Structure 1
Amino acid sequence: MPVEGRRDSRFGQLLRRGFTDPRTAEQLLDSPPLRPVATDGPLLDALGATADPDLALRSLARLVESLPAGERAPLLDTLLAAKPLRDRLLGVLGASEGLGDRLARHPDEWQALVAFETADLHPGTAEFETALAPATDPDTLRVRYYRALLTIAARDITGTTGFAETAAELADLATATLRAALAMAQREAPADAAACRLAVIGMGKCGGRELNYVSDVDVIFVAEPTEGTEEGPALQAATRLAARMMRICSDTTAEGTIWQVDANLRPEGRNGPLVRTLESHLAYYRRWAKTWEFQALLKARPIAGDPDLGAEYQAAVAPLVWRAAERENFVPDVQRMRRRVEESIPAAHAERELKLGPGGLRDVEFAVQLLQLVHGRTDAELRHATTLDALAALAAGGYVGRQDAASLDASYRFLRTVEHRLQLHRLRRTHLMPDDEVELRRLGRSLGFLGEPVEELTAAWRRHTAAVRRLHEKLFYRPLLEAVARLGGEGQVRLGQAAARERLEALGYGDPAAALRHLTALASGVSRKAAIQRTLLPVLLDRFADSADPDAGLLNFRKVSDALGSSPWYLRLLRDEGAAAENLARVLSAGRFAPDLLLRAPEAVALLGDPAGLRPRERSALTQETLAAVRRADSPEQAVAAARGIRRRELFRTAAADIIDAFPPEGGPAVEDPGAVLDRVGDAVTDINAVAIAAALRAATSAATADGAEPPTRIAVIGMGRFGGHELAYGSDADVILVHEPREGADEQQAAKAAFTIANEMIRLLQLPNIDPPLLIDATLRPEGRNGPLVRSLASYAAYYRRWSLVWESQALLRAEPVAGDADLGARFVELVDPLRYPADGLGDEPVREIRRLKARMESERLPRGADPTTHTKLGRGGLSDVEWTVQLLQLRHGAAVPALRTTRTRAALAAARAAGLLSEEDAAVLDEAWVLASRVRNAVLLVRGRPLDSFPSDSRETAAVARYLGYEPGEAGRMLDDYRRTTRRARGVVERLFYEG
């Protein structure tokens, strides 16, 4: 075939392979450097698969020509024989003119792409440090840096790594480079290096391990003097080292530049000192820092220099970052920052700006960071420096819908990949989409759009930016509820979107998006139900916002409304009875216990609208209702289920009254004294549990006898501990002992067997799995404890106490009081034990010493490991145990002589001891205050958490809710803890003087 024919044929082949200038391509292929491979089909195919075949061929020709003649063959032979090298090298040359220029300058660097070991596929900082280690001067460091960059680009272009891995590798390479530069600076100035500890904190995308190919590397410097060096000289030395390190990376030489090191995120920016001590940093952040500075610190990460100092810095600033959302005007500050960024874009560039424009990268980053700062206060799982990791955590935690998160993730990856390809082309910092068709074509092909690259790229870009903008507005602006707090002309709420997030954030809602979903579900539409909800919501939202957990209040309100929304009386009650709506809001936002009870029986909402509805019911009325339900039941299990339902309702009544301060004495003014309220709660919970036990005992007795016959024995349940003392907290166990007495003429063994069967059945029925708060029976205070019989006859108790009773049992019997079962038997049990608990001759020296030894042993052995003795309400210093043992010692010693001391109630006994002159007014007041406070804290913790805890919660929001229950204002949880420690510390002083010394 003639030469011209061969050329025409190759011309067509080049056109089909994507060359836009096939004539020039033919000339290059016919040039001496490339002639040996000019006809190789796989080579031409590989060139055609690159982003820019013309560029790839030109750069390859320059590379081969730059090699000495004797070194060209190995490259060409390897290029022809090894597809991996061919794809890597040509892929890079077709995508990056900048790296092509570097290879032409250092042609032997192509060998870095020959083979990647397994360990090289995903290198980290350590591997890059090894690669840079031979560099002993700045120019060599530049050469080594670009060699490493070449390998990153090759993996990226060929798809060995994705965007996230590439960005992490670039950040790790930057980290290794900074470490090498700092080491050079330290070698150049050993005296400066010896005078200070210097840590380099990575910020921005370097700190987040999501760096671009060409980007400033943002850093902050922190330093401390070494031993023997004054702070001033040490900071001067550190400043010189930091400045030299920056110049090594930023200076331009014959080998080019690496990147600019930017320290403008430091306190005071350009106007502040380059290097500060850790304390100076913290002082600035605590007093002067703006919201955006805490947003920037989200990505702070130690990357070079002294690792211990870097870790100290990170640990010290982290709490400040996660409290930033609590700052006044936090959300408006973030929004204003975002608007300023948008306004700074030149109008001509706004539609082409990948980073700052509408639907650009900043939209994703700002939305993610705002949600992190708002929700990361309480959810440590959100505290990621990397955008995609943080987005995934937000989705996993339910703060962003999974579909929305997946869309943002895909768009962010696409936009960042476009940014990478743009920067890789000429190794220049840019975020502008090109408007030149040739450049758009190359960019599109680099992203895999090989059909119609320009059209496909443009369509994908528009699609992703539109999705980002839509989701950004949804997450960052729209779900805000400013209008919900405003009433329209007809007294109804205007639901709006414009400022909802700001309004809800200002009200204290931690998850405004969820709040808006609840509000939309409650109030959207034209139904009468929605109209009433729109009337109610302003009051309810304001009341929820006044609580420690507004989100929980709104969520619970939606759940109750979903359960009762079709009941005509429900919304009418809330609308027409103003107190009902306000009471409901307070109950629903006060914690978990009361809302959980209400959600299991939503009809109990009706109690909140009746002025007398929250008054605790008398035990006799409760007993009558409960036993009637037991008699109607078809089985013991159904009987106890009915009793549990009544117990649930009454616990809700009591908890609601406690939460909203609705404990008026019968016919009297509202109770304001916390101690009086506590007494009413203790009485109410004691009565509720006593009735439930009586119901279970009745059901168990019926199950154990046939045809309604009487069992051969009578049983009484004796309350012990707080149960007998009418001091039960919401989550307290019911301490009991069980006593029986054979009926006249009954066989004693048969009676004992029947008593054991009934007692076991009673406990079994109470322990059946159910959704209600458990009523745990604890009978270990009986004679011989767990090793003794569960139930004894009255005669057996008399024999035991006469022969074997120990002083601690006499002390335990101080709280013994009949609570259920045969009343006459219970009274005779009390007569039996009175001489034990109120000994006629008082208490001798040895029993007193024994009680003190038991108390000391309990203090040393029973306090849970790791518990703070200053805040443990039961066993801590000045807590419940301290006060109760002190009072009980007085009762044991003086109860026989002072009839008023013969009470099972701690506060009543304390008042009697004071009246009898057994302790001073001041000491009695100190002990009473501490006991009431510790008891109220236990109740508050249970109301807030839904389960008991003998100390303050570790969760800050729960602690804040406890503080609100105790009457503290928002933000005073710290003062609450201080007050508690002060009150109990004073009580402990009295206890040590009266109990251990008196």
Structure 2
Amino acid sequence: MSRAERWRTTLARAGFADATRAGELLDGLGGSGPELVAILGRTADPDLALTALLRLLESADDRERLFDAVVDDEGTAMRLLCVLGASSALGDHLVRHPDHWRELTDPTLGSTRAPAFAMRADLLRAVGADPAADVPVSTLPDREALDALRVEYRRLLLRVAARDLAHDQGVDDTAAELSDLAASTLDAALAVARARVGDDHADARLAVVAMGKCGGHELNYVSDVDVVFAFAPADGVAEATATRVATRLASNLMQVCSDHTAEGTIWPVDAALRPEGTQGPLVRTVASHRGYYERWAKTWEFQALLKARPVAGDRALGEEYAEMVEPLVWQAADRDNFVGDVQAMRRRVVENIPAAQVDRQLKLGPGGLRDVEFAVQLLQLVHGRADERVRAPATLSALHELTVGGYVGRPDGEAMHAAYAFLRTLEHRIQLFQMRRTHVLPDDEASLRRLARSMGCFKEPVAELDRTWQHHRREVRRLHEKLFYRPLLAAVARIPGEGARLSPEQAGDRLSALGFVDPTSALRHLASLTEGVRRSAAIQRTLLPVMLEWFASAPDPDAGLAGFRKLSESLGGTPWYLTTLRDEGQVAERLATILATSRYASDLLQREPAGVKMLGEDLAPLSAEALTDEMASIGKRRDEAEQAVRQVRAVRRRELLRIASGELVGLTDVAEVGAALSRLTDATLEATLEIAGRAVRDQRGLDEAPTALAVVAMGRYGGFELSYGSDADVLFVHDPLPGADAQQAASYARAVVEELRRLLSVAGPDPALEVDAGLRPEGKQGPLVRTLDSYAAYYAKWSRVWEAQALLRADAVVGDPELRRRFTELIDPLRYPAQGLTHDDVVEIRRIKARVDTERLPRGADRNTHLKLGRGGLSDIEWTVQLLQMRHGAQVEGLRTPQTLAALEGAREAGLVEESDAVVLADGWRTVSRIRNAITLVRGKAGDQLPRDTRERAAVAITVGYPPGGTDAMVNDYLRRTRRAHAVVERVFWE
């Protein structure tokens, strides 16, 4: 191998991407090239560092001195080249201001952090202000002051970056130094603002209070600096005058920092965290701040105030503000919906991440910085009320105190500390390159390689960085999930080796803050589940930290935990239950969601504990054929009718759980739910009809049935639109077989129908299926079951228009197929009259509708939110579609269906309603039906009014697909959609 080849190989191993070009550039440095290779090889980007060094040498007036320092002084070379290799922006700054390289010759950079007062003095002097003055004012011309401020800021920033990159300064120290630099810059900017305002500046005292990362002493290299401004009038000055002056000072301060000049910009100053946000006044007195926080502030505003710190301007006024807000911050956890508000804010942050960035977001993505910060802040707000030690504003400091205080287990605290420090360091390195505000990991190979090397990954940079990052992301997600909950288990279960030790009172406080209404009962449940050395208790201690988070995110954590305990006590001895929950996370999450949301599904689970297994399946409803075959097969295996139907009802119970679970976890649409419940009812009736017929024949000694029997579904059942709380509205029809005695046939049919209804309503562990025949001719006064000829005679002589309307939903679904077909042929001319409806018929339908709306609306019900009879509710939409069916069904085949949405689609295709109107009516019907189902799921019983109870309403919102905290959005959407549906009904039904 030639010397040139060995040289290129050496450079490639040192990390140069273009070894040939690097060799040529280093050769230009004479014999010093090889001496620099080792140092360049430790930089983030050796090619960039070398190129920037050569640019700096060209621009420096003292080129020889610079060259000698780089060659002879390893400390200077390391600091300079590390900066040049990691930050093209600081390299450009050094080229513009080459004398600043001397800052990096300071040997104390490796061991001494600049004090805040020294940085403040440097920056004030840079703008021509006296650091010793009580109220420093810039004396430089405005443009000169702006440029001088930027140059001096970058000079000081250069020193911070050199200490960070070359001397392995801790990320907390770097962030604190950046915060002090920002605070000093604000003071210097205020000095320039005073010069702009002129002598009037003395009319107002202005305090600048840092919020967010600057307030918490944990600022990034590039970040908005969040502030709040407080002012007070100078002695003898009217408040209105002082307000104008303070507003001008604050506005100018913000402009001084954000304006672009020949020397660039610094960073934006953001005052959006002030009371009322951007809609509120820029400055307020301390008393005005107090009034707002005491009366109007939201939870997230107190969370933000946790880091409030006076940093510039009138320090005494700033301290007065800080003393005022501190007690308010530590009362925030006592507010209603405290944790829900905090969690909702976190969800909003995550939801606003562009989809393409989710997997590369260091700050806002899953397992990112926000997960740590929100976790720590929530624990601080809960426990800081009683323990002042945990009130530190900096995240890492607070995490340390929470760990020392026993609120976080020591291993967890250490792992979270390591993950957060890594993520913050990685964030710093990303921002340093171009001094841009970003929290997104780059996706190109070259940038990732540079970033990885800046983090100390040299062997396989990109792969090593990715492994480490993914490890910390997983740790953050894991710890975020357990941080609140494992210490709760330690408080009740005495877990060996667990560092956190909450007292019962502290554990109760934490549970209350997490949304548990009865923390004492919750602690008893936890103790029962986790105490002891049983294998099940050990598995529960693994499960519960995650389960508790899911319970706390759901509407009713108390019900979730209590239901979980009951289920665990029922199934704890089975070999599959706990291991399924432990090993299949989807099952555990679905179970927690169901138990803490739905009383209906929870009751089914208590009756059908083995249904937990089902939660790992796709939860798609079974087909009608599969259900009918299974139930029929079960019915044939039992001789005794009640035992046979008990087995049929057990299958129905299992399938009700499947359907409800599918809807609760968002897998089954409301129309699919209605169809599935109707198919399940078909199968149940089909199997029970066969069992009842066999029982009656056995009792009467008959070899075969004397008459054919069929069940006709009516109402929502006939429309394939059953909900969980619906009865099965039916008609019973029979037709004697040839040669059979008419009286014997009628007696047999009545006995079978009565036996069917009895078997399905027997008390037991299964939900009863109420079979309601109230829509039969003559109502409850008429015979329970009629022959086909009797129906024909009645309809020919006595049928009214409302009965024809009721038959629109008739669907002969169960029993003898031929009899079902003939019944359908009988009623089709009635419900779809060949000549349509007469004027009098239309008037009668409208009269009945008006009467139903008026007389059947319950006393005290709100017509705006009554799901069935309210404005734009189910009655409005369904009557409108039914009127179209009766008017045009004989001519339009698409209208000849018992299903509302299918008939509406047929009307749209036939041009009977505008497409936009059809969309509005379908959307309204789906919305109301989903909410109606959700009410039954949540309460465990049917309801036709939007719940007034806040917890029930929140549960309904979650069940229909809104995120936690989306109750108002659900109500607003409901009111908007039903209002639009009602407007269509007014045009189509009433005109």
2:477 is equivalent to residue 483 of structure 1: no
Bigger shift: 730-739 or 758-767? 758-767
Identify the residue that residue 872 of structure 1 maps to in structure 2: 866
**CA distance in structure 1 between the aligned counterparts of 2:717 and 2:915, rounded to whole angstroms:** 28
Match of 1:701 among 693, 697, 703: 693
Task: State which of 581, 585, 592 in structure 2 corresponds to 1:585.
Answer: 592
Map 1:732-811 onto structure 2 (within 5 A): 732-811=726-805
Change (3 A) 1:484 1:662: farther
Deviation at 1:708, TM superposition (A): 6.0
1:694 shift after superposition: 2.0
Name the CA distance, whole Å, in 2 between partners of 1:510 and 1:492.
30
Query: Residue 693 of structure 1 aligns to which amino acid in structure 2?
Result: L
Shifted more, 946-955 versus 930-939: the winner is 946-955
Which of 679, 682, 694 lines up with 1:687 in the alignment?
679
Q: State the distance in 1 between where 2:781 and 2:498 align.
A: 66
What do residues 239-276 of structure 1 show as CA deviations (whole Å, max 9, x unaligned)?
xxxxxxxxxxxxxxxxxxxxxxxxxxxxxxxx999xxx
Shift of the alpha carbon at 1:322? Answer: 6.7
Query: Aligned letter for 2:725?
Result: G
The offset of 1:631, in angstroms, is 2.1
In structure 2, relative to structure 1, the CA distance for the partners of 1:518 and 1:530 (3 Å cut) is: same
* Aligned-residue CA RMSD (Å): 3.3
| SS at structure 2 position matched to 1:996 | coil
The answer to whether the Cα contact below 8 Å between 2:586 and 2:616 also exists between their aligned partners in 1 is: yes
- Give the Cα–Cα distance (whole angstroms) in 2 for the partners of residues 640 and 603 of structure 1: 20
Does 2:536 align with 1:529? yes
Alignment partner of 1:657 out of 657, 662, 667: 662
Give the Cα–Cα distance (whole angstroms) in 2 for the partners of residues 651 and 855 of structure 1.
33
Alignment of 1:179-198 (within 5 A): none
CA contact (8 A) 1:923 1:990 kept: yes
> What's 2:565 paired with?
558
**Alignment partners' CA distance in 1, 2:554 and 2:387:** 32
Aligned ranges for residues 304-323 of structure 1 at < 5 Å?
none
Gaps of 5+ in 1: 1-270, 274-279, 292-319, 344-478, 664-676
Shift, 1:986, TM fit: 1.0
Separation in structure 1 between the aligned mates of residue 856 and residue 968 of structure 2, nearest angstrom: 27
CA apart distance, 1:638: 1.7
Contact in 2 for aligned 1:484/1:537 (Cα 8 Å): no
The residue number in structure 2 matching 1:380 is none
Letter in 1 for 2:615: L
Query: For 2:629, which of 616, 624, 627 is the aligned residue?
Result: 624
What is the DSSP-based 3-state SS (H/G/I as helix, E as strand, rest coil) of the residue aligned with 2:902?
helix
Name the aligned partner's letter for residue 684 of structure 1: A
**Is 1:540 aligned with 2:547?**
yes
The partner residue of 1:896 within 875, 878, 890 is: 890
| Aligned position for 1:212 | none
For residues 793 and 560 of structure 2, the distance between their equivalents in structure 1, rounded to whole angstroms, comes to 56
2:614 to 607, 628, 644: 607
**Is contact 1:332–1:502 with CA below 8 Å preserved after alignment?**
no
Q: CA deviation at 1:932?
A: 0.5
Q: Give CA deviations for 1:759-786 in whole Å, capped at 9, x if unaligned.
A: 1121122222223223111111111111
Q: Give 3-state SS (helix, strand or coil) of 2:685's partner.
A: helix
**The 10-residue stretch of structure 1 (581-590 or 901-910) with the greater mean CA deviation from structure 2:** 581-590
Q: Is the 8 A contact 2:339 2:514 kept in 1?
A: no
AA matched with 2:820:
G
Please tell me whether residue 924 in structure 1 is matched to residue 918 in structure 2. yes
CA contact (8 A) 2:489 2:530 kept: no
Partner of 1:571: 578
Once residues 882 and 327 of structure 1 are traced to their aligned partners in structure 2, the CA distance between those partners, rounded to angstroms, is 37
Corresponding residue to 2:958 among 932, 955, 964? 964
Distance in 1, matches of 2:486 and 2:581, equals: 23
Tell me if the contact between 2:486 and 2:545 (Cα under 8 Å) persists in the aligned partners.
Answer: no
State the SS of the aligned residue for 1:810.
helix
| Alpha-carbon distance between aligned partners in 2 of 1:826 and 1:740, rounded to the nearest angstrom | 10
Partner of 1:718: 712
SS in 1 for 2:576: helix
Residue type at the aligned position of 1:837: R
Distance in 1, Cα, partners of 2:843 & 2:615: 52
Instruction: Tell me the TM-score normalised to structure 2 length.
Output: 0.51
Measure the CA separation in 2 of the matches of 1:544 and 1:322. 18
Does the 8 A contact of 2:666 with 2:961 survive in 1?
no
In the alignment, is the contact (CA less than 8 A) between 2:832 and 2:885 conserved in 1?
Answer: yes
What is the alpha-carbon distance in structure 1 between the residues aligned to residue 785 and residue 833 of structure 2?
25
Within the candidate set 838, 841, 844, 2:835 is matched to: 841
What CA distance in whole angstroms lies between the structure 1 residues aligned with 2:341 and 2:682? 49
Aligned equivalents of 2:673, 2:340: Cα separation in 1:
35
Change (3 A) 1:895 1:513: same
Distance 1:326 1:724, change over 3 A: closer
State the AA in 2 paired with 1:694.
E
Q: Secondary structure at the match of 2:968?
A: helix
- Give distance in 2, aligned partners of 1:288 and 1:756: 65
Which whole-Å CA distance do the structure 2 matches of 1:494 and 1:774 have between them? 51
Q: Specify whether residues 660 and 495 from structure 1 end up closer, same or farther in structure 2 by C-alpha distance, changes over 3 A only.
A: farther
Aligned to 2:643: 638
- In structure 1, what is the equivalent of residue 909 of structure 2? 915
CA drift of 1:480 comes to 8.2
- 8 A Cα contact 2:490 2:501, kept in partner: no
Which residue is 1:426 aligned to?
A: none
For residues 813 and 528 of structure 1, do their structure 2 counterparts lie closer, same or farther at Cα, with a shift above 3 Å needed? same
Q: Deviations over 1:320-362 (max 9, x none)?
A: 9877897768997686555689x9xxxxxxxxxxxxxxxxxxx
1:933 matched to 2:938? The reply is no
Work out the CA distance in 1 between the residues paired with 2:747 and 2:856.
36
The aligned amino acid for 2:516 is: Y
Deviation sequence 1:729-755 (CA, Å, 0-9, x none): 011111100100001100112111211
**Which residue type is aligned with residue 872 of structure 1?**
H
Flag the 1:282–1:963 CA change in 2: closer, same or farther, 3 A.
same
1:492, 1:535 within 8 Å by CA — same for their partners in 2?
A: no
Deviations 1:404-450 (A, max 9, x none): xxxxxxxxxxxxxxxxxxxxxxxxxxxxxxxxxxxxxxxxxxxxxxx
Structure 1 counterpart SS, 2:686? helix
Amino acid at match of 1:811: Q
Structure 2 spans left out of the alignment, 5+ residues: 1-284, 303-333, 343-376, 392-482
Residue 94 of structure 2: aligned partner: none
Taking the TM superposition and a 5 Å limit, the aligned residue runs for 1:250-265 are: none
* 1:285 corresponds to: 295
- Distance (Å, rounded) in 2 between the aligned partners of 1:660 and 1:645: 23
Mark the CA change 1:491 to 1:872 in structure 2 (over 3 Å): closer, same or farther.
farther
CA distance, structure 2, for counterparts of residue 495 and residue 828 of structure 1: 74
Give the paired residue count: 541
The percentage of aligned residue pairs carrying the same residue is 50
Q: Which moved more, 1:955-964 or 1:535-544?
A: 535-544
Aligned pairs (5 A) from 1:845-856: 845-856=839-850
Shift of 1:632: 2.3
**Following the alignment from structure 2 to structure 1, what is the Cα–Cα distance between the partners of residues 682 and 849?**
29
TM, length-normalised to structure 1: 0.51
Distance in 2 separating the partners of 1:896 and 1:981: 35
Q: Deviations over 1:379-407 (max 9, x none)?
A: xxxxxxxxxxxxxxxxxxxxxxxxxxxxx
1:99 matched residue in structure 2: none
Give the residue type in structure 2 aligned to 1:610. E
User: What CA deviation, in whole Å up to 9, does each residue of 1:908-941 have, x standing for no partner?
Assistant: 1111111111111111111111110110011000
| Compared CA separation, residues 326 and 931, structure 1 to 2 (3 A) | closer
Q: 951-960 vs 791-800, which deviates more?
A: 951-960
3-state SS, counterpart of residue 736 of structure 1: strand
